[in-house]
Chain A
Amino acid sequence: MSDLPATSAVAAPAEDEAKELAVRGRQEPREISARADLVLRIAVPTFVLLLTVLAWQLYVVFAEVPAYILPSPVAVATALWTDWGTLYPALLVTLKITFTALILALAGGVALAVLLVQSRWIELALYPYAVIMQVTPIVAIAPLLLVYVSSTQTALLICAFIVAFFPILSNMVQGLKSVDHNLLNLFDLYGASRMQTLWLLKLPAALPYFMAGLKIGGGLALIAAVVAEFAAGSAGAGSGLAFRLLESQYRLNIPRLFAALILLSVTGVAIFGLTSLISWLSLRRWHESALKREN
């Protein structure tokens, strides 16, 4: 590391109380240790991953495990490469269902949450149904949905939506209700309209809760998209990764099954990373959850 950060000369503000603030988080050693920490956080898991893959490969080769029981990493990589023409469209289908469901769940969850907190009556009338939708096992609804909607894709989308919707709704309701009462008083005092209170106070105050809902909802949308496809059993063109998984199993094409599995894992990790990044970006300036604790 040659590019050590220059010592920042911080002008002490006139106010005594302010000194602590200006100096906070700008010392050299802390930045170095932060960078070393980052390197460690990437290097250690990567090393463990490589080690595991190597052990797996050696085990398969030396124990002479047949490919239909446990394929070697090389075989899985080969399958990923040669079957890309089959797997890639399936991945796109799964991604499309997952993200469409997530976006609809975000829009619907936030809109319904805003509606629910407007009046106690609306909440009393609607909230139980949101709960019922959530607690009913999604796999049980899937066959029924197939009867009602014409395309499998739509059925899958509805399933993924229902699953992702609830955590966003319940988090959002909680967030909208957790606004500091004195801030509400303050908005009252200055004659804020309902719209202004919602837009300038309630929604920003609920943002951390929304982000928690987004992280949970994102992961659940993918899981639901896969589980629903197992249950709904799509086939042929336009089927997603879950169908390819099942198909590979029937044909005892285990390397391809592993390849599809890896694609699903990577997608899940990517969704988690993306939602965490969005959460961090939107909260890093002010919310405790995005701040490093310094004592």
Chain B
Amino acid sequence: MSSAAVAERPAASTRQRPVVSARNVSKRFSNGTLALSDMTLDIMPGEFVSLLGPSGCGKSTALRIIASLGEATTGTIDWPTSRIDSRGKPASSIGFVFQEPTLMPWRTVFGNVYLPLRLKGQSKSASRERIMAALETVGLGDFAKAYPRELSGGMKMRVSIARALVTEPAILLMDEPFGALDEITRQKLNDDVLRLWHEAGLTVVFVTHSVYEAAYLSSRIIVMGSRPGRVVTDMPIDSPWPRDEGFRSSEDYAALSRKVSDALQHAIHQTGEAA
């Protein structure tokens, strides 16, 4: 891992156009709950953006709207740098990692990772190389023939990440992906995601409710408040790269975590006054 390259990575210059741009997006559910209120957000290429907030702050809703899994009630989502296909989605695809691994139990690991390509009509033989490459990047090259039930929770999540990466997406959306995992597996996967982000030049939007996870991973943290869900603070994180075990035990990280935690407390407190 060359640290020089890493150091350059988060310099998302303001001259660039955003990968995705949300303008005044609101979402009201059919039961009347205002889940997200007036969110405006630009995601620049190469950023690692975390949406951090208490439950019910609309962070997952925001992510789903970006992925066009749900319609915004008002406001728009734009993809300034992507061609838009007939269904109004960016032609260069979105990778999505759900909170659960969301694998098809009747397919092997290979078959699960093949799915996005298969749905785009690509043959298995033509896709083989890309699938195996995606599996190698998450360290599961030897498990192509295994079924999901034979894998541990962490490994299933890796398969899910490989599936999201196999289409070489313009943006990777992750919805509390490691929330259900134990601390050790979670740290390991956090390191892996950071490595992938930097090696593949990904743009990542990462939903989490963990201050420490957000502080460790992000180049920018969006702190959100609830009732109604909204953006409270947008804080760039300029801690140096690479971030590894050394960073995790550093004074810097502790200070950063405290700062992020304060921002989150502030967001929650504001909510309490409003409620």
User: Shortest CB–CB separation between residue A213 and chain B, in angstroms?
Assistant: 17
Contact of A182 among B98, B105, B115, B143 (CB under 8 A): B98
Within 8 Å CB of B152, what residues of A? 17-18, 20-21
Task: Name, among A200, A207, A288, the residue most crowded by chain B CB atoms within 10 Å (CB to CB).
Answer: A200
Question: Cβ of A201 < 8 Å from any Cβ of B?
Answer: yes
**Would you call A238 an interface residue if the criterion is a C-beta within 8 Å of the partner chain's C-beta atoms?**
no
Residue B144 lies at the interface, judged by CB distance under 8 Å to chain A: no
- Cα A18 to Cα B129 in complex, Å, equals 23
Distance of A182 Cα from B150 Cα, bound (Å): 21
Mark contacts of B154-184 with chain A using CB atoms, 8 A cut-off: 1 yes-contact digit, 0 otherwise: 1100000000000100000000000000000
**Are B119 and A192 closer than 8 Å at their CB atoms?**
yes
Are A204's CB and B151's CB within 8 A? no
Task: Flag if B142 contacts A13 (CB, 8 Å).
Answer: yes
B23-31, B87-95, B243-251, B264-272: which one contacts chain A?
B87-95
CB atoms of B102 and A180 under 8 A apart: yes
Q: Please measure, in the bound complex, the distance between the C-alpha atom of A207 and the C-alpha atom of B104, giving whole angstroms.
A: 12
Q: Is A151 an interface residue (CB 8 A)?
A: no
The listed residue with most B CB atoms (<10 A of its CB), out of A188, A189, A204, is A189
> A residues within 8 A CB of B116?
190
B146 close to A (CB within 8 Å): yes
Are B69 and A189 closer than 8 Å at their CB atoms?
yes
Closest to B167 in A: A190
Q: Which of A198-249 contact B (CB under 8 A)?
A: 200-201, 204-205, 207
Q: Taking the nearest CB of chain B, how far is it from the CB of A202, in angstroms?
A: 11
CA distance A204 to B148 in the complex (A): 15
Closest to B101 in A: A182
Q: Tell yes or no: A66 within 8 A of B by CB.
A: no
- Select A190's contact among B102, B119, B142, beta carbons within 8 Å: B119
**Total count of chain B residues near the partner, CB < 8 A:** 35
> Which B65-115 residues sit within 8 Å CB-CB of chain A?
67-69, 85, 87, 89, 93-94, 96, 98, 100, 102, 104-106, 115
Whether the pair A183, B93 counts as a contact (CB closer than 8 A) is no
Cα separation A204 to B119 with both chains bound (whole Å): 16
A residues near B115, Cβ cutoff 8 Å: 186, 190, 200
Cβ of B240 under 8 Å from chain A: no
Q: A189: which B residues are within 8 A, CB to CB?
A: 67-69, 94, 96
Check A86 for interface membership: any CB of B closer than 8 A: no
Shortest Cβ distance from B106 into chain A, in angstroms? Answer: 5
With known contacts A189-B67, A191-B87, A200-B115, A182–B102 Cβ distance under 8 A: yes
A186 close to B105 (CB less than 8 A): no
Among B89, B104, B139, B150, point to the contact of A21 (Cβ < 8 A). B150
Smallest distance from the beta carbon of B166 to chain A beta carbons, Å? 11
- Which one of A13, A191, A205 has the greatest number of beta carbons of chain B within 10 Å? A191
Distance in angstroms between the alpha carbons of A204 and B107 in the assembled complex: 10
State whether A185 and B69 are in contact (beta carbons under 8 Å apart), knowing that A17-B155, A21-B152 are contacts in the complex.
Answer: yes
Report chain B residues within 8 Å CB of A15.
139, 155
How far apart are the CA atoms of A76 and B182 in the complex, in Å? 66
B15 at the interface (CB under 8 A from A): no
Do A285 and B147 form a contact, CB below 8 Å, given A17-B155, A190-B116? yes
Tell me, rounded to whole Å, the shortest Cβ–Cβ distance linking B149 to chain A: 6
Partner of B98, one of A186, A187, A291: A186
A286 interface hit (Cβ, 8 Å):
yes
Whether the pair A286, B147 counts as a contact (CB closer than 8 A) is: yes
Give, as a whole number of angstroms, the nearest-CB distance from B263 to chain A: 30
Is B210 an interface residue when CB atoms closer than 8 A count as contact? no
Shortest Cβ distance from residue B238 to the other chain A in the assembled complex, whole angstroms: 33
B64 to chain A: closest residue by CB: A185
A34 to chain B, nearest CB (A): 19
Separation of A17 and B188 alpha carbons in the complex (Å)? 11
Closest to A17 in B: B152
Q: How far is the CB of A209 from chain B (nearest CB, A)?
A: 13
B93 contacts A190, CB within 8 Å?
A: yes
Instruction: Determine which residue in A13, A182, A186, A285 has the highest number of CB atoms from chain B within 10 A of its CB, and name it.
Output: A186
Contacts of B87 in A (CB 8 A): 191
Q: Are the C-beta atoms of A204 and B104 separated by less than 8 Å?
A: yes
Which residues of A lie under 8 Å from residue B118 when comparing CB positions? 200
Beyond A21-B150, A286-B106, A286-B149, list 14 extra A-B contacts (CB 8 Å): A21-B151, A182-B102, A185-B69, A185-B96, A186-B102, A187-B119, A189-B94, A191-B87, A196-B119, A200-B115, A200-B118, A205-B104, A207-B106, A286-B148
Question: 20 A-B Cβ contacts within 8 A?
Answer: A13-B142, A17-B151, A17-B185, A18-B143, A21-B146, A24-B150, A183-B102, A185-B64, A185-B96, A189-B67, A189-B68, A189-B94, A191-B87, A191-B89, A191-B119, A196-B119, A200-B118, A204-B106, A205-B104, A291-B149
